[in-house]
């Protein structure tokens, strides 16, 4: 048990969730190492949502609400940390949810599917290996997607995603929103809208904003998206990573 007054309580709780997910068999060893990288970057961000992330969260939400077909991509890490929030965001933005694992095994897919069921979400996509298609006919496990989901989506929200996969998604013409704590990662650098934040803070903010922005006109949302420069936003995000003596 981690005492509630521990100065790093929040961070340690997330670490416990990641370890539990590994023990339950749906998070790969590499997922744990990736979590550690995230911890370090979050630490350098001050473990708070930075100003530039609020901006890209706003644009990301607008983009999800404007989408003809949006899909939220899930893996072991984001399932472990934010399953309930992911389901809520999907429901509010009318997005589908699809499983995409870097180290895909039938067992991991099945455990994640069951976890989503446990939380009341029954229609998760990407579970049937035989029905997966290759985006742009790229013959790579990084290019697989379910026909009803990411394969035919116009907007995809990824978080803690592999750089190869993000690149394949953006090159295929889809609008990619990425949540990633490392502003220098290939995912952060290649996505259309990069949210440099911890998913446990970013997704609840997206949910709140989606509730409000649902009432806005499409034109208003389009303006938000058109006025946004991910390059500029990322450059400003980099400045928020500071070494505090």
In Å, how far from its chain's centre is CA 219? 26
What is the distance between the alpha carbons of residues 204 and 84, in angstroms, rounded to a whole number? Answer: 10
Q: Is 55 in the site for its own copies (CB under 8 A)?
A: no
Q: Is 104 in the site for its own copies (CB under 8 A)?
A: no
Closest CB to its own copies among residues 61, 80 = 80
Number of residues that bind its own copies (CB under 8 A): 29
Q: Which of 10, 13, 15, 104 binds its own copies (CB under 8 A)?
A: 15
Stretch that binds its own copies, among 39-47, 54-62, 137-145, 170-178 (CB under 8 A): 39-47
- Please give the C-alpha separations between residue 137 and each of 134, 168, 172, 201, in angstroms, as whole numbers: 5, 11, 10, 36
Q: Which of 17, 26, 35, 45 binds its own copies (CB under 8 A)?
A: 35
- Closest approach, Cβ 2 to its own copies, in A, equals 12
- Closest approach, Cβ 37 to its own copies, in A, equals 4
Q: Please, what is the end-to-end C-alpha distance for the chain in angstroms?
A: 30
Q: What is the DSSP string of 187-198?
A: HHHHSSEEE-S-
Closest CA to 72 of 140, 136, 149, 127: 149
What residue ranges bind its own copies (CB under 8 A)? 15, 18-19, 22-23, 29-30, 32-41, 43-44, 182-184, 235, 238-239, 241, 243-245
């Amino acid at each position: 048990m981690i005492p509630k007054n521990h100065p790093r309580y929040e961070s340690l709780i997330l670490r416990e969730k990641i370890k539990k997910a590994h023990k339950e068999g749906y998070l790969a060893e590499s997922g744990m190492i990736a979590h550690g990288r995230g911890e370090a970057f979050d630490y350098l961000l001050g473990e708070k949502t930075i100003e530039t992330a609020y901006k890209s969260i706003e644009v990301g939400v607008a983009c999800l609400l404007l989408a003809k077909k949006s899909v939220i991509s899930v893996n072991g890490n984001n399932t472990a940390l934010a399953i309930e929030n992911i389901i809520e965001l999907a429901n509010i933005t009318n997005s589908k949810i699809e499983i995409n694992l870097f180290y895909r095994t039938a067992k991991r897919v099945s455990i994640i599917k069951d976890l989503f069921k446990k939380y009341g979400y029954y229609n998760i996509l990407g579970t049937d290996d035989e029905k997966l298609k290759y985006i742009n006919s790229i013959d790579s496990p990084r290019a697989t997607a379910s026909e009803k989901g990411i394969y035919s989506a116009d907007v995809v929200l990824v978080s803690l995603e592999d750089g190869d996969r993000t690149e394949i998604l953006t090159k295929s013409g889809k609008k990619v929103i990425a949540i990633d704590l490392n502003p220098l990662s290939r995912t952060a650098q290649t996505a259309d809208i990069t949210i440099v934040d911890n998913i446990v803070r970013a997704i609840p903010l997206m949910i709140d904003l989606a509730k409000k922005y649902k009432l806005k006109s499409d034109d208003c949302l389009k303006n938000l998206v058109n006025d946004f420069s991910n390059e500029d936003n990322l450059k400003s995000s980099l400045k928020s990573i500071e070494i505090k003596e």
